[in-house]
Amino acid sequence: MKHFKIIFTFTFLLLFGLNNAQKIGVVDTNEILNKLPQYKEAEARLNSQIDTWESELQSLQSEYERKKAAFESEKVLLIGDQLKLREKEVTDLDKNIKTTTSLRFGANGEITKLRTNLVQPFQDQIWGAIKTMSEKNGLGIVLDKSNNISVIFLQSKYDYTEKVLSILLKGTDKKEKTNSKGKK
């Protein structure tokens, strides 16, 4: 009888452990983002803004180089206040370039903020779709292979990227149909 209880307890714990094993799924959020048309449009707008700022910065830089060269060549001819005024003009332009570069392209610059504002809504949508997909498929853990997680081998049945993408695109298809009906 004692052996029966031990065997029964062991069998019960083994079955309980197997039933509670967590299923793991993997998604690639970069692939999902790259397949979302709205993200591509927003990224194109951001890149356009970056190009505009870079061209402004290049024109400031060329103006600085021109004024600095002119100042260096005329330096011997200038006296007193004229020398100080031209030197201040060149240094102010240099400071302006450095400030503009830092404000727009720095670690906490406008580009970083714009990129965060661009990606955040899409990340929220992706997280919601991942949650929906994981609940439907009974997944306990979902890994993102695009965030430097080394996945050495992955069977396709555990890659849920396309399922998440279909959930997201199904939502956008409904929105597009609603918008096109409203426009008619």
Beta-carbon neighbour count of residue 161 at 10 Å?
Answer: 22
- DSSP letter at 143? E
Q: Dihedral through CA 108, CA 109, CA 114, CA 116, nearest 10?
A: -20
Q: Is the pTM of this model over 0.75?
A: no
The neighbouring-strand residues paired with 139 are: 23
Paired tokens of 66: 């021109």
Which is nearest to 92 in space by CA: 68, 121, 128? 68
CA 170 from chain center: how many Å? 22
Q: What pLDDT is attached to residue 102? A: 92
Q: What pLDDT is attached to residue 79? A: 84
d(CA 107, CA 49): 17
Q: What pLDDT is attached to residue 30? A: 86
Q: What pLDDT is attached to residue 28? A: 87
Q: What pLDDT is attached to residue 55? A: 95
Q: What pLDDT is attached to residue 19? A: 53
Q: Which residues of the chain have pLDDT under 50?
A: 12-14, 18, 176-184
Paired tokens of 34: 């790259």
Q: What pLDDT is attached to residue 177? A: 47
By CB atoms closer than 10 A (0-12, 13-18, 19+), residue 98 is: exposed
Q: What pLDDT is attached to residue 142? A: 85
At 124, give phi and psi (nearest 5°): -60, -45
pLDDT tens figures, 126-143: 889 989 888 888 888 888
- DSSP letter at 106? S
Long-range residue pairs from 141-149, CB within 8 A, at least 24 positions apart, any chain: 141/22, 141/23, 141/24, 141/25, 142/24, 142/25, 142/26, 142/27, 143/24, 143/25, 143/26, 143/27, 144/26, 144/27, 144/28, 144/29, 145/26, 145/27, 145/28, 146/28, 146/29, 146/30, 146/31, 147/29
- DSSP letter at 142? E
